[in-house]
Structure 1
Amino acid sequence: MATIYEVSKLAGVSLATVSRVMNNNANVSDATRKKVTSAMTELGYRPNSIAQSLASNCSNSVGLLVSELSGPFYGPMMGGIEDAFRNQGKHVIIAAGHSDKEREEQAIEFLISRNCDGLILHVEAVSDEYLINLSKSETPFVLLNRFIAELADRCIVLDNVRGGYLATKHVLEQGHKHIAYISGPLWKKDAQDRLLGHKKALQEYDMAFDETLLYEGDFMEGSGTQGYIDLHNSAHHFSALVCANDEMATGAMASAREFGIALPEQLSIMGFDNVLFTRHTYPPLSTIDYPINNMGRMAASWILSEVYRKQTPQLQTIFEPELVIRQSIFNKR
């Protein structure tokens, strides 16, 4: 197996120059870089990534912790992050925390143990105190979909209150007066904020929030299915249903059809996230666009700027949701 010494001898350069080429150091001329890479190819030399990391104190890898690896929401987020880093010659190591405090902490420790240069954390269960203490460690990180005032300069979030408000306001504008709501798990901040936005829209229209028309789901399709069943069987009339995400909305749509309900004439349904399948439901689902791909890319930009000192666009920490109008809301006016 060829060694770095043999590469330097064949290329006619120093060991330090070979090391700079392997670590993509900008202080190497194109001609020298070509000589070194040609020598590596001729000798069949493959750099030892662990040795490179120890020598340069840089692993060229970034840790990404997400809540789940499945579902239509996290794929676009992970795709945007991976694409941004791949274009810069960096690699992503992915772990899942499953919205569980112990598993999130274990995943963070695992990513740090893999010598990641920085971390992107989409965490829900670990405490603010834990993350504030983590910020004092040597591994830099950026938070996605989590706001902590003490770490505001490294938090990239969606205005979920605004999103919840826009969703319900559109339903109200179509003349609906009896509106049911399926929330996410209310221990989660984004679920709380979307429900708060729903209540703000009702208040703006001088309508009281009806607790009997609230079902707490878990952001999964099954809870949308069960949520509609429970709301339907409660005998409380509602002509529209606002759901805190698209998965629960599609579950509710399927459940409503089981009861013979015509959509949207007898029941209007609103989602949240604007995941890919929403344009293919029947009827196509009105929803709130959550620009998670762009937010993921912004998190990658934070790492590229703060860790690798790359030139990146100005950091945007707060993203605005947008209403996407399709055919699932019936106009009662």
Structure 2
Amino acid sequence: MATMKQVAEKSGVSTTTVSHVINNTRVVSEDVRQRVLTVIQEMRYVPSAVARSLKNDRTNTIGMMIPNNSNPYFAEVIQGIEDASFKLGYNIILCNSYDDPRKQLEYIRVLMEKRIDGLILVSSGSDSELTRLLADEQLPKVLVDREVTGIAADFIEADHEQGGYLATKYLLDLGHRDIACVSGPKDLLPSRDRVTGYLRALREAGVNLHMSWLVHSDFTSQGGYTATQQLLALPNRPSAVFFGNDLMAIGGICAATEAGVRIPADLTVMGYDDIALASFSNPPLTTIAQPKHEIGELTARILVDRIMNEHLPLRRELLQPTLIVRKSTAAFTPGT
């Protein structure tokens, strides 16, 4: 690999001049500048990002910590973050905790060692050690979807309670009264908020909650599959199920189909997120769409603003979900 000294020797200039050409830190004559750039291209010289960061105190790199990149929801948010970051001149280092808080903590330490300029965190849970690490480190940070106790940071989320309300209200408007909810983990704020919206819609309609119809699982297809089997084994089956995300709803459709339950003739199914796969499930999934790409773009822009000016007031952004109607839902028919 070529070095700056070799570039300087071949260009007939000092290493200081090469550095000025690379970093635009001093005016260099145009003929010298072009000569140096030509040699850099010929020798395929790659400037050291670490060395440049020591001079400029910037790496133009953002660290991102997510719980599970196998969830298409996060993939679509990441795309929005990458699109906006690229336009703003920043690179992304992506770490995946697989919902393990200890792995999350270690990865955040690694990102800090890499001298990232800022951190985007979708938390896999928090404890005193994570709070202490983030509080002690004066690093620009944006939290997405899940706040971390004791940490003051910019925060971006969709209105999960309103999304849960919209989903349940739509099912009620279709005439359903026996509506189950398969929620995500109890300890995650988005899960709790979606359940809160579900309960609010039932309460407004004067519908009593059957506790056996509120099931907590994880945000996976297997979780939805298992929860649906549990619901279908009850003596009083629901006529509709609101799933806490699309992956669970797709798993639920699979379990129902295997049990000979027709969707939506025998059981209406509602999802959440509107991942790309939702429109290709069988039947195509009615769901609550989160503005995933917009969440990603906004997160990146707010973090870069924070990197450039740490004294800006903290921002809290609440984006609104929308109902997407497809073919997994139908009006309630007595006797189904």
Answer yes or no: same fold by TM over 0.5. yes
* Per-residue deviation, 1:43: 4.6
Query: Is the deviation greater in 95-104 or in 190-199?
Result: 95-104
Q: Percent identity?
A: 31
In structure 1, the residue matched to 2:228 is: 228
Alpha-carbon separation, structure 1, partners of 2:20 and 2:165: 53
How far the C-alpha of 1:69 sits from its partner, in A, is 2.2
Residue 154 of structure 1 aligns with which residue? 154
> What pairs with 1:15-30 in structure 2 (closer than 5 Å)?
18-19=18-19, 21-23=21-23
Partner of 1:72: 72
Post-superposition CA distance 1:4-59 (Å, at most 9, x none): 3565687798866644553477x869958656533422454321222222222222
How far apart are the structure 1 equivalents of 2:18 and 2:193? Answer: 53
Deviation at 1:3, TM superposition (A): 4.5
Residue 238 of structure 2: aligned partner: 238
Partner of 1:83: 83
Task: Give 1:89 shift.
Answer: 3.3
Quick one: distance in 2 between partners of 1:20 and 1:127? 45
1:287 aligns with 2:287: yes
Counterpart position of 2:179: 179
1:247 partner amino acid: L
1:161 positional shift: 0.6
Q: Is the contact between residue 148 and residue 155 of structure 1 (CA under 8 Å) also seen in structure 2?
A: no
Q: Which runs of 5+ in 2 are unaligned?
A: none
User: Judging changes above 3 Å, is the alpha-carbon distance between structure 1 residues 35 and 85 closer, same or farther for their aligned structure 2 residues?
Assistant: farther
CA distance in 1, matches of 2:304, 2:187: 32
C-alpha change, 1:21 and 1:77, in structure 2 (3 Å) is: farther
Measure the CA separation in 2 of the matches of 1:254 and 1:67.
25
Q: Is the 8 A contact 1:298 1:316 kept in 2?
A: no
How far apart are the structure 2 equivalents of 1:75 and 1:24? Answer: 36
Could you say which residue in structure 2 is the equivalent of 1:198? 198
Q: Is the 8 A contact 2:7 2:40 kept in 1?
A: yes
Q: What is the SS of the residue equivalent to 2:72?
A: coil
Report the AA paired with residue 91 of structure 1: N
- How far apart are the structure 2 equivalents of 1:261 and 1:154? 45
Secondary structure at the counterpart of residue 277 of structure 2: helix
Shift of 1:143: 0.6
Deviates more, 1:237-246 or 1:136-145: 136-145
Shift of the 116–245 alpha-carbon distance from structure 1 to 2, 3 Å rule, reads: same
Number of aligned residues: 328
Instruction: Tell me the residue number matched to 2:50.
Output: 50
Q: Which amino acid aligns with 1:285?
A: L
Aligned-partner Cα distance in 2 for 1:250–1:148? 30
Change (3 A) 1:244 1:2: closer
The letter for the 1-side match of 2:221 is E
Q: Which amino acid aligns with 2:238?
A: F
After TM superposition, the structure 1 = structure 2 runs for residues 1-333 of structure 1, keeping only pairs within 5 Å, are: 3-4=3-4, 7=7, 18-19=18-19, 21-23=21-23, 36-127=36-127, 130-131=130-131, 134-147=134-147, 154-308=154-308, 317-332=317-332
| 1:210-260 superposed Cα distances (whole Å, 9 cap, x missing partner) | 101121111111111111111111111311111011011011111111111
Residue pair 2:154, 2:315 contacting (<8 A) in 1 also: no
**3-state SS of paired residue (1:279):** helix
> Deviations along 1:36-88, whole A, 9 cap, x unmatched?
53342245432122222222222222111010121322211222222222233
The whole-number CA distance in structure 1 between the counterparts of 2:173 and 2:229 is 26
Contact 1:301 1:315 in 2 (8 A): no
Using structure 1 for the length normalisation, give the TM-score.
0.88
Determine helix, strand or coil for the equivalent of 2:119.
strand
Instruction: Please give the alpha-carbon distance, in whole angstroms, between the structure 1 residues aligned to 2:162 and 2:154.
Output: 21
8 Å CA contact retained: 2:20, 2:28: no
SS of corresponding position for 1:73: helix
Instruction: Give the match's secondary structure for 1:41.
Output: helix
SS at match of 1:186: coil
TM-score (norm 2): 0.87
Could you say if the C-alpha distance between residues 50 and 286 of structure 1 is closer, same or farther in structure 2, counting changes exceeding 3 Å? same
- In the alignment, residue 306 of structure 2 is paired with which amino acid? E
Q: Distance in 1 between matches of 2:45 and 2:277?
A: 46
Task: Give me the CA root mean square deviation.
Answer: 2.8
User: Does the CA-based 8 Å contact 1:104-1:126 persist in structure 2?
Assistant: no
Give the secondary structure class of the aligned counterpart of 1:165.
helix
Alignment check: 8 A CA contact 1:60 1:91 kept: yes
